[in-house]
Amino acid sequence: MERLGAYKEDVLSVLLAMADEAVLSFDARGVVRIANERAEQLLGCAGLALDGMDVKDLFYAGDMSRPVAGELPFSTTGDVSLVMAKLVDGSFIPAQVRCRRIGNSDDFLLIAEDVDSIHETRREQSRLLDELRRSNERLRGVLSIISTATLSDVSFEDFASHITTELQHVFEADAVLLYLAEGAGFRVYGRSEGFGSLGVSQTFVPHGAGLPSLVARTRRSLRLQLVSVGDDNAVMLDMDTDTKVRLRSELAQRCSTLVGTPVFSYDRVMAVIAVCWRGPYPVDRDGLSLLDTVGDFLSIEFATAVSQMQQMRESELLALLSEVRDAVRTAGSMNYSFASAIARRVAQVVPAHVLEMQDNPWTHTVTVHLPAEDDGHPRALPAAGAYGLEGLNTVEFPYGFDEVFPGGATSREISSDDHVGMWVGRHTDLAFGMGVRITSPHADADEPQRALLFLRGPLDPPFDETETDFLEHLGADVSHALDVERERANETQISQALQSGLRNQLPEVSGITTASLYLSATASAVVGGDFFDLYPLPDDRVVVVIGDVSGKGVEAAAMASLVKTALAAYAWDDLDPAAMLSSLNNLFVKFSRLETFASLVVVSFDLRSGVATYCSGGHPPAMHVRDPQGDAPTLELLTVQSPIIGALEDLDYDNGTFEFDEGDLLFLYTDGTTEARSPDGDFFGEESLRETLLRNCHVDVKGLPEAVLSEVTDFAGGSLHDDVAMVALRIDRVGEPAVEIAAPSVEVQTDPPDQPAQH
């Protein structure tokens, strides 16, 4: 039994030595039998054995009174009791004890803990749990961003704002910003909900200034703490390198703690995430690592997003450029209200303040419209993107248009160090921009020149490459469109002068009846290259011509007019058709461009003999219909062909002949008739034209061209792609004209009989 008791005491000693709390046992008299090292440390007697001491001398009641004999200052039922532990130096510390009898013996076991240590342990546990909670929240937030962030259904700006707001919650920050790199610096494209509370107005940071540039230069995440604030900068401490940096940035002046993380596209910093706290904030390495994880993920998403955004922006500006061009073409000229409309529309898409510049061709002065003064001070300009003419003052500009746009330029960059920018800086709070001429440099001397100055302030982002390219094209395209409209107006005047010569009605000639038709396939064209004419000559001869000069518009019409004039002269010189085309070919080669040609057919009728001579220079064959009013009319093609007009000089041209009778029809046409296409792409063709003529030849010749055109137009689905000209000619007389013999007049003889009558 003694050995068993000794064994139990050995086991108890081992357990006491392994316990973290202060543990001791005592008997019914309160004498300590055994105590562990932690108990000795608690009572301040490390290294001194507690065995044999009275437990009532070690633990006192809460009021520090010593228990009387036979009493203990704590419960022995295992409940927690608060006592005062007396140290060997006579001082007391609060302690928490639990005491219980050991089995059925008279011995007791006591466990004691320092109350302050308990509280410290709990505080440390609470701190660790709080850090664990925060880490879990961050990790959950980062995983949420990675798993839900997509650009499938939202704009890039909305996507960026969503990411920044999520990061603000994850890192318990005051605000989060997302900067995108551009040519001249970094522009804010996303901001969290708390951005407004920072009081920061700067949304563009030029290269070399601010947090984004510092992150891009160091190519790593930065943790910065504010050291001091100056007039236009802030000194911040890099917590990882323990070095100071100076930032020229509103953001640095407003925040005590900043974290910046780069977002890479290959080896280039494409974007920077800025996490901001107005007050000091302990940013640990784990939080920075999570932010790096977000940056690594966004680098993949942003590469696609930025490319798509650039494409969308370019498409938007291209559509606006087309819209302005169409408006200029419709207007045809530039005036004050139209210039204002262009300024308003462009400023909606390319945010800027817009000032209008105009010269006066009579006084040779240039004026600019500036905000009106209020109590001697310039009125504030409208917000970027707004444009209004109300309340503007007209101020004389000290430079001429040729100085602002030298060499007929249609656009120019405006900076604070050139003469235009310095003048703008003296009169407004604007700093830089683009000037765009919206009138043609080639305008008449009495037409006012106008320009729009698209300007931004010193805190505004500069125009990016896409916007600059758009404004440069805007000036060039408006100028070109006005030049085109001016040329078109001139062509219209020329066309109207040519019209009467090219589309006149064929003259009436004894012995024949004619009908003609011309239809332009181009609605805007007044005239084209198709033409026809008829020349009555002595001795009952008639020459009819039809032709087609390559090209459209005034140039083709002018060449057609030349051809008609030349043919009229050749006809009156009594040249046969082949000689007429040969002479015309040599003339055409000398006076037309290399790529300009003509096809035509000339038919010369001798109404007395009933024989016609013709020559076709590369033209569709004319059609001769015999007995058109009979039961079985026949159609003959005039198939003798010669070269086209204008290919080479001194070509040979051949005549063909045919006989005709009274009532016969001759139908001449240009290739726009047979080359009309159906919606399926099929040609109307020569065979269809033959059938159409035979089907309609019984109608009056005056309605024949319209009847043929109707069938051609129906075949083409109502849309012709080339000009169409037709001439129908009916022979009404063949042979010598009938001569009326007037009866001789009878006179009364009044002379003497031997005198002959005088007639």
State phi, psi for 51 to the nearest 5 degrees.
-55, 135
Tokens of 114: 């320092």
Band of pLDDT at residue 373, cut at 50, 70 and 90: very low
Q: Is the pLDDT of residue 660 over 80?
A: yes
- The answer to whether 186 touches 205, Cβ cutoff 8 Å, is yes
The helix/strand/coil state of 741 is: coil
CA atoms within 13 A on the CB side of 474: 31
Q: One-letter amino acid identity for 291? A: L
pLDDT attached to residue 608? 93
Q: Which segment of 15-19, 140-144, 620-624 scores lowest on mean pLDDT?
A: 140-144
Query: ∠ at Cα 249 (246, 254), nearest 5°?
Result: 100
Residue whose token pair is 């030849």:
697
Q: What is the mean pLDDT of the chain?
A: 81
Q: How crowded is residue 138: how many other Cβ atoms within 10 Å of its Cβ?
A: 20
Q: Is the pLDDT of residue 336 over 80?
A: no
To the nearest 10 degrees (0 to 180), the angle between helices 553-572 and 465-502 is 20
Strand pairing of 353-360 and 365-371?
Answer: antiparallel
Q: One-letter amino acid identity for 284? A: D
Tokens of 682: 């099929």
498-501: long-range contacts, CB 8 A cutoff, minimum separation 24: 498/527, 498/554, 498/557, 498/558, 498/561, 499/526, 499/527, 501/561, 501/564
Distance in angstroms between the alpha carbons of the first and the last residue of the chain: 196
Stretch 167-196: mean pLDDT: 86
Tokens of 654: 């051949």
Most confident of 6-10, 120-124, 511-515: 511-515
* 599 or 394, greater pLDDT: 599
Q: Is the pLDDT of residue 565 over 60?
A: yes
Stretch 123-143: mean pLDDT: 64
- The answer to whether 405 touches 413, Cβ cutoff 8 Å, is no
DSSP state of 400: -
Q: For the chain, how big is the Rg over CA atoms in Å?
A: 53
CA-to-CA distance for 35 and 49, rounded, in angstroms? 8
pLDDT attached to residue 184? 80
- CA-nearest of 298, 366, 326, 248 to 146 is 298
User: What pTM was estimated for this model as a whole?
Assistant: 0.47
Q: Which segment of 190-204, 446-460, 733-747 scores lowest on mean pLDDT?
A: 733-747
* 648 or 443, greater pLDDT: 648
CA-to-CA distance for 241 and 219, rounded, in angstroms? 14
Q: How far is CA 686 from CA 431, 483, 600, 692, 708, in A?
A: 70, 42, 17, 10, 12
Q: Which segment of 126-130, 320-324, 500-504, 656-660 scores lowest on mean pLDDT?
A: 500-504
Q: Which segment of 321-325, 484-488, 572-576, 721-725 scores lowest on mean pLDDT?
A: 484-488
CA-to-CA distance for 413 and 467, rounded, in angstroms? 12
* 717 or 117, greater pLDDT: 717
CA-to-CA distance for 565 and 578, rounded, in angstroms? 17
pLDDT attached to residue 749? 41
Tokens of 439: 């009138």
The helix/strand/coil state of 55 is: helix
* 130 or 692, greater pLDDT: 692
Bridge partner residues of 236 (DSSP)? 226, 245
Burial class, 7, CB count within 10 angstroms (exposed 0-12 / middle 13-18 / buried 19+):
exposed
Stretch 702-714: mean pLDDT: 93
State phi, psi for 363 to the nearest 5 degrees.
-95, -10
- The answer to whether 577 touches 655, Cβ cutoff 8 Å, is yes
- The answer to whether 38 touches 46, Cβ cutoff 8 Å, is no
pLDDT attached to residue 388? 41
pLDDT attached to residue 576? 94
State phi, psi for 711 to the nearest 5 degrees.
-70, -35
Band of pLDDT at residue 163, cut at 50, 70 and 90: confident
> Which strands, in side-by-side order, build the sheet including 634-637?
512-519, 724-731, 665-669, 623-626, 634-637
Band of pLDDT at residue 392, cut at 50, 70 and 90: low
Q: Is the pLDDT of residue 498 over 60?
A: no
- CA-nearest of 149, 428, 171, 144 to 274 is 171
